[in-house]
Structure 1
Amino acid sequence: MKTRILRSMLAPAAMLSVAACAELDVTNTNNPDITRALASPSDVAKIAKSSVNSWYLASTYYEPYMMLQITADAATGNFGNFGMRFNNLEPRIAYNNNSAGSDAQVTVRPWDDNYSALGAANDALKALAGGVVIPGANGNDQAKSAAMFAQAAALSNLALIFDKAFVVTEGTDLSKAPELLPYTQVRDSSLKVWDALITLTNGKTWSWDADVFPITAAQTAANINRIANTMAARTLMLSARTGAENTATNWQRVLAYADKGITGNGLTSFDVSTVSDGGNLWYDYIKLYGNYDSWTRVDQRVINRMAPNVPAKYAGTPIAPQPQDNRLGVANLPCAANPTTCLAGVTKDYVYLGTVLGDPARGIFMQSPYYHARYRDVSFAFNTSTHTGKPQVYILAAENDLMIAEALARTGGDLNRAASLVNKTRVTRGGLAPVAANAAAILEAINYERDIELLNTNGLSLFDRRRLEGLQAGTARQLPIPAKELETLRLPIYTFGG
């Protein structure tokens, strides 16, 4: 796997150290190169494009998402990597926010990588605002929209993951120390950019170049507009940290966004799926590890929902399922160390392998004989060169449908429509009885479908579970600013959980 993140050479995350050393008069020896790059239309266009790739890689990296899926009891594993071991302990312990700690990258990677994407986007937007003209009839709109997409999406990530963050845009005066803002204000800043991008792309007929965001759907302005609406709806909905905040969410606004998203009334639905290039620039670590049978398994809490005969927690004895949901099945047992043979002909999303992995001394409850096989073809179960050309789902159409349905149920909207949206996957893929047009039943069915249908698409399980009060006691509902940043900023080190 090549080192891939196309970081901005102009404004990396290190700009945030301004908050600690704004009083220093330091000459930037790279400034002439920065000035030249920002004056070059071709360089500015490349920076705008690269910011989207940097955001995508930050959004599908194993840190923090593998840990967050495990602490949400969606996935399970006890290897010492990616924060999977100590943050999977029961009872839960606090996240070790230590710059020298083994789990430091759980916070460092999403912090640094999202600010890297943000820095590149800001550089491009600043250059465009300063008068750089990109060749082509719509060159500036294309470059501006790509940079705005990365800017909004990076701010969304920061708002969902951390309790607070810096909001740094092309208009930020970097000669002054930026202010740390609570996640609600970071969220609102991201929504402001999403709204601006939606306005910019509304009614336009141009398209992004093929390499900006290589997805299976066309990169037309109309589709970018729809993806932005879905991303805004998701940001607003998933930012809630508690049940009370979830109730207080502006669900009418969620509905307004989602109904203009990648699904919606009268619209042709599509998934947001990048096309793998075999591990070069476009790949997804959530699937590479989340669907790799010898690394990560499915927490039995999830399996218990589909097969109540299976205990919600593994206790040391593999128990074959009696599925009530068609998405769960059994491999051709027994399985060898590599289950490729025993999975031959098995087309289920969730598969019982009959064996567990990991050290039982670290906690039997961390083990599971159940495996998520839905995206196995783009996991490390196969050489990455074989992934080329295959879709890697980041947002399923079903995710947007479920947001519409939940917003309808929570605002007294059309419950028949809400039920029909839930039943798209519940009945067609799960083989379950249709949910009735009843608000309480619809909300419970949505809870179930989001748990089962969306696993390993984008690693957002914890954000769902916290707003619905589904987390174990002591589970961190958000991450702190990385210790290394707090040390640079000369602020007290703090954490969550335990």
Structure 2
Amino acid sequence: MHTLKKFVWPVGLLLVAASCQDLDVVNPNRPDAERATAQPLTTENFVATSFRTWWPVAGHDDYPSWAFSTMAREITSGFADFGQLELSAEPRQGWNNSPVNVRRFVNETPWFQLFRTVSSVNDVVGSINRGLVIENAVRTARAKAMGKFMQGVSYGHIGFYFDKAPIIDEFTKLDTVRTPQFTEYRQVSAFAIRQLDSAIAVAQTQPSMTFPADAWLYQSLTRDQFVRLANSYAARILVYTPRSRAERAAVNWAEVIRRVDAGIQTDYAPLAQPDVFFDDWKRLVARLRTAGRPSDFGRPSYWLIGPADSTNGWVNWVATPNDNRLPFQMRTRDRRIQGTTGPASPGKYVGYNLNNIFAADRGTFRWSHYFFRRSGVDLTWQTGPQLAMSVAEMDLLKAEALIRLGRAAEAVPLINRTRIANGELPPVTVEGPPNEPGCVPRKESGACGSLWDALRYEKGIEGLGMNGVIAFLDARGWQTLPENTPVHLPIPGRELQTLQLPLYTFGGPGGQGSAPARDPERCPVAGLARCPS
């Protein structure tokens, strides 16, 4: 079999005719893609490796994870790498979308890498539609199901990150495209879910379909497990697409429940392979380069873990002007943050370390005495399972749906599952956590939190270190982002320049796409105790 190099168009080059209206543009590399996808095993390899291409920009590498996590105040860092310093500065400023901005990869990397994945799988699905058979009916259906799945999760993340994008699928005639047609993010996400449903429909035709552990989705999956995974990703897309409190309230929450119930029943944790498939987000969040300085690149933020504090440290820290904030030692009953032998003893997910590892002139508000330890250090990020989607996440999405649908009592046991088992905390009721000293979580005023506060706290602490973008996607829908944070990213300046379209951006005072003032404790429904609606 000949080895052929597959050509992948960046979207700007796909649509280059938009800036050359009088030219007939022909893609001279297209025959290579067509010849390659006429070869069954080569075609299968394109789709079998597509998840590996998608994985880094889905919250498992540097872009856009560090920018998004620090904007959400999940992780705090004083380093300039990966655009995090500028985007997490307080007060917030707009994103610099210049094509020569040295931090431009915050939106360039996910844009081009997601469309690279789309391009690969479009070729595969198109070839199968034209009659290509890969050995037998089962393998052919598996390749097509995987292709539709990857279209779905790729466009799902495009819909998460960007205000708009072109929809390019296996039916798009690339060489005839002359004018870019951009689709608004909500329609992009709706398209993504339709592709996931197509993947489910194809998979259901072949009960014996399986996915191997060493490639494809990097976890051994049966046909039914693949279908459940697709449903869980659809649940994510439904919940995480909204840019505002109003949009999140308008989600079809009954459909979220249906998807969660049809979704994963065990944690999805693909198996890392050294230097091939790994989770660099987990590596940097837990990095230890010098003895005594764990999490030396970024640390859990007090905004995330502070509500568990039983002293006035958290309340006073919130009330202190931003530029005067200093780190403090918490005392908490949450065993994910503090062990049983005192405030300096490590918890299951987080430990205490006195070192302040970031430069003071970049803001002491960035300092934290806490480090991430749930995923381990050393080489755990590239050996063994890498938690990517948990049953706990799905439980808490369902719990949010139930609260919003006026069925809060049904949400209580879902919130308590991890709260009791992992946090070793007393259970919540519809009234919220027990209103007593040491209550977890507390409001920023110091009062004991509501059931809604407990849901959001549980979602944050259980998601810590799993994925670098989800905290941001939650925060914009809960209206907990700092005011003027960009709620999404623009099409990269490089792409706009190629297409001869005007530069634009989001965020900053008075800018479009800027988050409103925080309103962290307002309930989505009336009638919950300790929770103004």
* Percent of paired sites with the same residue: 30
1:152 maps to 152
Quote the residue 2:267 is aligned against: 271
Q: Distance in 1 between matches of 2:204 and 2:450?
A: 36
Shift >6 Å, 4+ stretches: 330-334
After superposition, residues 86-105 of structure 1 pair within 5 angstroms as 86-105=86-105
1:404 and 1:131 mapped to 2: Cα distance? 41
Aligned residue runs from structure 1 range 342-361, under 5 A: 346=346, 348-361=348-361
Gap change, CA 1:120 and 1:282, over 3 Å in 2:
same
Alignment TM-score, normalising by the size of structure 2:
0.83
Q: Once the 2 structures are TM-superposed, how far is the Cα of residue 9 of structure 1 from its aligned partner?
A: 2.8
Instruction: State the distance in 2 between where 1:195 and 1:284 align.
Output: 27
Structure 2: how far apart are the matches of 1:46 and 1:301?
Answer: 44
Q: Deviations over 1:218-275 (max 9, x none)?
A: 311111101111100110111111111111111111111111111xxxxxx2111111
Instruction: Work out whether 1:46 is the aligned partner of 2:45.
Output: yes
Deviations, residues 92-112 of structure 1 (Å, cap 9, x unaligned): 111111111121000000101
Residue 393 of structure 1, aligned match among 387, 392, 409: 387
Matches within 5 A, 1:234-273: 234-262=236-264, 269-273=265-269
Q: Read off the aligned partner of 2:173 and give its amino acid letter.
A: D
Counterpart AA for 1:453: E
Cα distance, 1:214 vs structure 2: 4.6
- Cα RMSD for the two superposed structures: 2.5
Q: Is the 8 A contact 1:205 1:222 kept in 2?
A: no
Candidates 399, 423, 433, aligned match of 1:430: 423
After TM superposition, give the deviation of residue 357 of structure 1 in Å.
1.0
Question: What residue is the counterpart of 2:529 in the other structure?
Answer: none
Q: Write the letter of the residue equivalent to 2:390.
A: L
Match of 1:282 in 2: 277
Identify the range of structure 1 (70-79 vs 15-24) with the bigger mean alpha-carbon deviation: 15-24
Instruction: Kindly provide the CA deviation profile for residues 162-210 of structure 1, in whole angstroms up to 9, marking residues without a partner as x.
Output: 1111111111232123311110110111011112122222372310233
CA drift at 1:307: 1.2
SS at 1:283 equivalent: coil
Q: Give the alignment's TM-score, normalised by structure 1.
A: 0.88
- Counting only pairs closer than 5 Å after superposition, residues 81-480 of structure 1 correspond to structure 2 as 81-174=81-174, 175-176=176-177, 177-202=179-204, 204-216=207-219, 218-262=220-264, 269-278=265-274, 280-292=275-287, 293-309=295-311, 310-311=313-314, 312=317, 315=324, 317-329=326-338, 346=346, 348-377=348-377, 382=378, 384=379, 387-413=381-407, 415-437=408-430, 441-459=450-468, 460-480=470-490
The equivalent residue for 1:62 is 62
Given residue 281 of structure 1, which amino acid in structure 2 is its aligned partner? V
| Other-structure match for 2:437 | none
SS at match of 1:181: strand
SS in 2 for 1:138: helix
SS of match in other structure, 2:269: strand
CA 1:167–1:39: 2 relative to 1, 3 Å: same
Instruction: For 1:422, give the aligned amino acid.
Output: I
Corresponding residue of 1:265: none
Give the residue type in structure 2 aligned to 1:492. P
Q: Could you tell me how far apart the structure 2 residues matched to 1:326 and 1:52 are?
A: 35
**Partners of 2:337 and 2:347 within 8 A in 1:** no
Contact 2:87–2:95 (Cα < 8 Å) also in 1: yes
- Whether the 8 Å contact between 1:38 and 1:44 is mirrored in structure 2 is yes
1:493 is matched with 503
Residue segments in structure 1 that go unaligned for 5+ positions in a row: 1-6, 263-268, 335-341
Corresponding position of 1:3: none
Letter in 1 for 2:467: N
CA distance in 2, matches of 1:250, 1:20: 40
Q: Distance in 2 between matches of 1:122 and 1:299?
A: 40
Change in Cα spacing, 1:185 to 1:18, as seen in structure 2 (3 Å) is farther
Q: Aligned AA for 1:274?
A: P
* Structure 1 equivalent of residue 520 of structure 2: none
